[in-house]
Amino acid sequence: MKVAYQGEPGAYSEQAVLAVFPDAEPMPCETVRLVFSRVTSGEADVGVVPVENSQAGSVNETYDLLLRTSLVTIQGETVVRIDHALLAPPGARLEGIERVLSHWQALAQSEEFLGSLGVEMVPVHDTAGAARLVAEGADPTAAAVASVDAGARFGLTVLAEHIQTHPENFTKFAVVSTRDLDLGPPDKTSLVMAVHDRPGSLLASLAPFAQHDVNLTKLESRPRPGAPFEYVFYVDLARAASDDGVQAALKEVGEHTSLLKVLGSYPSHPSIF
């Protein structure tokens, strides 16, 4: 099975792929958009994409693509512990580091440590890609923020470990596909909606979930692509879409929304906290 992911070999996204599909053939992609493209075209059977980090919040690009892509649905999820290290070429010293490369989220997650060093932070497309660039450059003043495993893959020295500001740092990944993967009984549903532009519409669109005893575990607004200053709401429900209560709630919600799309109904990842 070919599984597309954003990043390079050694990235946290590759760890997510192998956590769900241990025997998969990982297919690295430069962007999340390319992951979706390869899944919809059939080049990849499945995609694994980041949806939320416990520190940095939602990955907006993923949610926007889920909204726009009609053929792809969420089939499952997994959570990867993010444990950053500062990696540099052999012989480099911590006090000599001037530039640090990594994905912008990894830089943000390690901002307290990096700020104490007074280094220039350089965003690149991926943590493992940053490790590769630092290894290829062999500059003792340059370092990367990535996993220890990525550092070992590219022959880098670990200058510091566990450098993220908050030790409990996790990223949730969605498994997306154009077909039913049967990863287990669904107990979670993700959807997106836009409410009518009139007083009380948001309240009226949320009330049916409470009335039918459906617990909402996420509610987040995002600008609606192509509609300036209009917003959509991303919602996670702690029930399967096929549940009678969810079906009844969605029917009533539809009366108060101009857009209502189920992004997927799938087995939730076990709690890790």
> Which position has the token pair 């540099």?
88
Catalytic residue set: 171, 173
pLDDT over 90, % of the chain: 90
User: pTM of the predicted model, to two decimals?
Assistant: 0.91
Range of lowest pLDDT (180-184, 207-211, 226-230)? 226-230
Of 82 and 197, the one with more pLDDT? 82
Residue 170 scores a pLDDT above 70: yes
Mean pLDDT score of the chain, rounded to an integer?
95
Domains of the chain: 2-82+170-177 (3.40.190.10), 85-161 (3.40.190.10), 188-266 (3.30.70.260)
Q: Which two tokens stand for residue 138?
A: 């062999």
pLDDT confidence of residue 273: 45
Which of 38, 261, 204, 29 minimizes the C-alpha distance to 129?
29
CA distances from 270 to 15, 169, 172, 267 (A): 17, 16, 11, 9
What is the four-CA torsion angle of 147, 52, 28, 77, rounded to 10 degrees? Answer: 110
CA-to-CA distance for 202 and 195, rounded, in angstroms? 6
Q: pLDDT tens digit string along 126-167?
A: 999 999 999 999 999 999 999 999 999 999 999 999 999 999
Strand partners, 161: 85
Tell me: pLDDT of 271 over 70.
no
pLDDT at 37 (0 to 100): 97
Task: Summarize the confidence of residues 219-246 as an average pLDDT.
Answer: 92
